Structure 1
Amino acid sequence: MNIGVDAAALGMSNAVVSNTGDVNSGYWNPAGLINLEDSQASIMHASYFANIAQYDYAAYAKPIDDKSAWGISLIRFGVDDILNTTQLIDGDGNIDYNRISLFSTADYGLTLSYARKLQVPGFQYGVNAKVIRRVIGKFANSWGFGFDVGLQFEKNNWKYGLMLRDITTTFNVWSIDEDEYNKIKDAVPGENQELPESTEITLPKAQFGFSKKFEFHNDTSLLVATNLNMQFTKTNDLIATDFVSIDPAIGFEYGYTDLVFLRLGVGNFQNITQIDNSKKVGFQPNIGLGFKYKGIQVDYALTDLGDQSAALYSNIFSVKVDLSIFR
C-alpha cells in the first residue's frame, strides 16, 4: 500500500498529494475526488524484481453531486508459481521431484473512498476505508482493516494537501496453518521453533504537499509539486529525529495543449552508510511520459532512473478513461 499507483504520479516521484484530482485520488488523497466532472476508470500494471513480482491496480470513481464523490480501488501485489520444496525429500531421505508443488503469495488492498466539499471556500476532505488481505499459499493468510483521511485547500492558484495514512493504525490478523508449519519447523535446527506473531500493525504516516501550475502563452504549462513524506519514528530518511522522519519529493510535469506530458521527479532521499562507514545521500529519480486524447489518457513511467538506490528499474504503464466518452 506504500508503492503508489498511476504512472503519471510515479513519474513525478509521488509528489501529487496536493494536486491529485481524478479517479486515482482514492489512493493519493481522497479529497481530490471532488474534482471529478464525470465517471472515470483507471488500470495500471507494473513488474518488479526482474518480472518476478506483478503489481496491478484498478479503480473507478464518480461524482455523487456537485459537493461529493465516491470511489473504489483494488491493488494486488503478488508472486505466482513459487516452487514449494518443503516435501522434496521423502521419509527415507530420497529426493523426489514429484513432491514439488506450486503456490502463490499475494497482498490485496480494497479501498472505498468518499469525498466532500467543506463549507469553508477552497477546502475539501476525503476518507478511505481499507480492507487488506494477505495470502501465503496454504501456509498462512490474514485480514486487516484501516482508515485514511485527506484534506485539500486551494487559494491564489496554489494547492495544498494533507494525507494521513492508517490514521487509526491498520491491523492485520494472521491465521497460520499449524499442520503445514509443523512440517518445516525442524528443517533448520534451532530455527522456526515458535509460531510467528499473529498480529501485524501498520503505524500512521502523513504526507503534506503543495503545488502550482504555471500556464504559458504558447499552449504549454508547467506543474511543480512538492511532498514531505513523514513517518513518526526514526528512520534513514533525509531528515530524521526521534519524533518524526521526513523524506522530501519534488515532481515536474510539462504539458503541451493538454495533449502531451513530460514528467520528472526525485524522491526517496535516504542517508546511507557505506561499507567503509562513510555517509552519502541516496535518492530515486523517475521520468514519465503521457498522452491524452478525447478522454483517454495513457501514461508510462520509468522509476529508479540512475540506480541510485541499487534497486532494479521498473517500467510502469497505466490507462485512465473518462467514461463520458461512451455516452
Structure 2
Amino acid sequence: MLAGLGAGAQFRKYSNEFLNIGAGARGLGMGGAQVASTEDGSAGYWNPAGLVYVYEHPAVSFMHADYFAGIGKYDYINAAIPLNDKYKTLGISLLRFGVDDIPNTLYLVEPDGSINYNNIQSFSSADYAFIISYSHLFKDDDNSKVQMSWGANTKIIYRKVGTFANAWGFGFDAGFMYKTPKWRLGIAARDVTSTFNAWSFNFSDREKEVLYLTNNDIPVRSTELTSPTLVLGYAYNFRLAEKVHLLAETNLNMTFDGKRNTIISADPVSIDPKFGIEANINDVFYLRGGISNFQQALADGDTLNQKKVWIFQPSIGAGFKVGNVTIDYAFTNLANQGSPLYSHIFSLRLDIMPKKTTPKEKKNDGVPELPKPVKEKKKKVFYPG
C-alpha cells in the first residue's frame, strides 16, 4: 500500500473507497438506492437534502458491520438535530473502517538470513470520516403537496496506517430533493470539489533500510484526489392497500474518471445503476430488497472461450419499528463481485421524543400540578370530671 503512493497529486478511481460502502441497514438492504427516498439521519450520507425530514425531534442512529468475514470492522453513528423550525436540520456523522492486528513482517528476516517469528509485530489501519450536514426545506406548498429541499456536507477525513503513515483530507457534497405524495426526485453531487487526501510518512532509519534492501519505494509525501460523482434518483410510492405501501427507487451513479466495469462504460462518464424496493406495512414492519454492482465477468468454467456474462449483487433486508425505536437488518455483500463475502448488518435508530405532558401539566405550561395540602382535623380532647 505504502509503496504504491506516488510523490505528486493524482486522481485515483478508488480513493477513499470506504466512503462508498453505505450507511444504515435500510439503505444497504435496498442495494444502495437511497438518493430520492432517504428521510432519516442516514440522509447525511446518501443525500443531505433528505435530512430536513427529521424535523419533529432529534434522532440518533448506529450501525455495525463486519467486513471480509470479520477481518475488518465498519461502524457508523449519526445524530440529526432539528433547528428552530421544521425547515432546517443539522446532522453530524462519524464513520470508521478499520483492520486491526495486521502482522508487520519488516523484521521477520534477521541480517544473517534466519527467520525470527518473535520479530513479528502488529499494527492497525483505520479510515475515519467526520461529516457535518445541513439541510433546508425551501418550498412547502400545502395546496400542491410539493416539497423541495437542498442540503450540503462538509467532510473531514483522517486515515492512519500504524506508525508509518497518516493522511488528512477534506471534501464537500451537495444534494437536492423534490417530493410529492407519490413520487420523488433526488440528486446528490459527491466530492464536488475533488476531495483530497494529503499523505505524510514516518519511517525509522531501520525501516528505511529494510524497505531499500527489499526493493520497495520509500515514499515521502503524496496527495490523493477523489473525482466528483453525480447520483440521480427517482422513487415512486405505490399504495397496495390501506396500510400497505411499496416504494420503488432507481439510482444512476455517474463517475467521471474514465471507463469502469459498469453497464455504461465510457470515457469520461461511466454509469452504474442501482434498484431497490421497500414494502411498508402500517409504518411498523418493512421488507426490502435491491440489486446493484452490475459487472461483466467470465462465465463459470469457461476458461477456453473467455465468454463474459453480466452479474449483479443482490441484497435483502427488513425493519421493525416500536414507538421511538427502529431496528433494521440487511444481508448484503460489502465487498465487490470478486470477493463475494456477505455480511449481516444491523442498525438502530432512536428518536429522542420529549416527555408527554398530562392535561393538567399543559394547563400550567408544562409544570406538574402539586397535590393540595390536606388540612389536619383537630381532635377533640375530653378531660375527666
Q: Where does structure 1 lack aligned partners over 5 or more consecutive residues?
A: none
TM-score (normalised: structure 1) = 0.93
Which is further off, 236-245 or 158-167?
A: 236-245
Deviations 1:102-151 (A, max 9, x none): 21000001000001122585221000000010000001000000000010
Task: Check conservation: 1:284, 1:309, Cα contact below 8 A.
Answer: no
C-alpha deviation, 1:184, in angstroms: 3.2
In the alignment, which residue of structure 2 is the partner of 1:96?
116
Identify the residue that residue 219 of structure 1 maps to in structure 2: 243
1:88 deviates by: 2.0
Residue number among 316, 323, 338 corresponding to 1:294 in the alignment:
323
Name the aligned partner's letter for residue 316 of structure 2: I
* Contact 2:212 2:218 (C-alpha < 8 Å) held by counterparts: no
Does the 8 Å contact 2:200/2:220 carry over to 1? no
Q: CA–CA distance in 1 between the matches of 2:327 and 2:173? A: 28
Amino acid at match of 2:211: K
Q: CA deviation at 1:160?
A: 0.4
Higher alpha-carbon deviation: 174-183 or 204-213: 174-183
Q: Within 2, Cα distance between the matches of 1:185 and 1:21? A: 50
Alignment equivalent of 1:2, drawn from 15, 20, 28: 20
Counterpart pick for 1:314 among 343, 349, 355: 343
Q: Would the alpha carbon gap of residues 21 and 87 (structure 1) be closer, same or farther in structure 2, given more than 3 Å must change?
A: same
The change in CA–CA distance for 1:322 and 1:205 in structure 2 (over 3 A counts) is: same
| Aligned alpha-carbon RMSD (Å) | 2.0
Q: 1:241 aligns with which of 246, 266, 270?
A: 266
Q: Tell me the distance in 2 between the aligned counterparts of 1:35 and 1:137.
A: 40
Residue 273 of structure 1 and its aligned partner are, at CA, apart by: 4.8
Instruction: Choose between structure 1 and 2: higher strand proportion.
Output: 1
CA–CA separation in structure 1 for the residues paired with 2:78 and 2:293? 26
Q: Distance in 1 between matches of 2:351 and 2:271?
A: 35
Where do 1:215-294 residues align within 5 Å?
A: 215-232=239-256, 233-273=258-298, 275=303, 276-294=305-323
The answer to whether 1:48 aligns with 2:71 is: no
Q: Is the 8 A contact 1:221 1:255 kept in 2?
A: yes
Separation of aligned partners in 2, 1:308 and 1:112? 32
Q: Is the 8 A contact 1:283 1:309 kept in 2?
A: no
CA distance in 2, matches of 1:107, 1:326: 38
Q: Which one of the candidate residues 132, 135, 139 is aligned to 1:115?
A: 135
SS in 2 for 1:186: helix
**Superposed displacement of residue 250, structure 1:** 0.8
Q: Counterparts of 2:92 and 2:283 in 1: how far apart (Å)?
A: 26
**Structure 1 partner of 2:49:** 31
Specify the alignment match of 1:202 in structure 2: 226
TM-score, normalised to structure 2, is 0.80
The alpha-carbon deviation at position 256 of structure 1 amounts to 1.3
Which secondary structure does the structure 2 equivalent of 1:16 belong to?
Answer: coil
Question: Which residues in structure 2 correspond to 1:78-227 (within 5 Å)?
Answer: 78-119=98-139, 122-155=147-180, 157-179=182-204, 181-188=207-214, 191-195=215-219, 198-227=222-251
Q: CA deviation at 1:216?
A: 3.3
CA 1:62–1:284: 2 relative to 1, 3 Å: same
Say if 1:326 and 1:290 are closer, same or farther in 2 by CA, change over 3 A: farther
Q: Deviations over 1:1-55 (max 9, x none)?
A: 0000100110000111001011111001011111112101000000011110000
State how far apart, in whole Å, the 2-side matches of 1:140 and 1:222 are: 48
CA distance in 1, matches of 2:23, 2:151: 18
Q: Which amino acid aligns with 2:173?
A: D
Q: Which runs of 5+ in 2 are unaligned?
A: 1-18, 142-146, 357-385
Contact 1:123 1:154 survives alignment (8 Å)? yes
How far apart in 1 are the matches of 2:101 and 2:287?
37
Q: Which sits farther off after the overlay, 222-231 or 115-124? A: 115-124
CA distance in 2, matches of 1:87, 1:204: 41
Give, as a single letter, the amino acid of the residue that structure 1 aligns with 2:246: L
- Tell whether the 8 Å contact from 1:139 to 1:176 is kept in structure 2 after alignment: yes
Asked if 2 retains the 8 angstrom alpha-carbon contact of 1:236 and 1:272, the reply is no
Q: What number of residue pairs does the alignment pair up?
A: 324
Structure 1 residues 92-101 or 283-292, which shifts more? 92-101
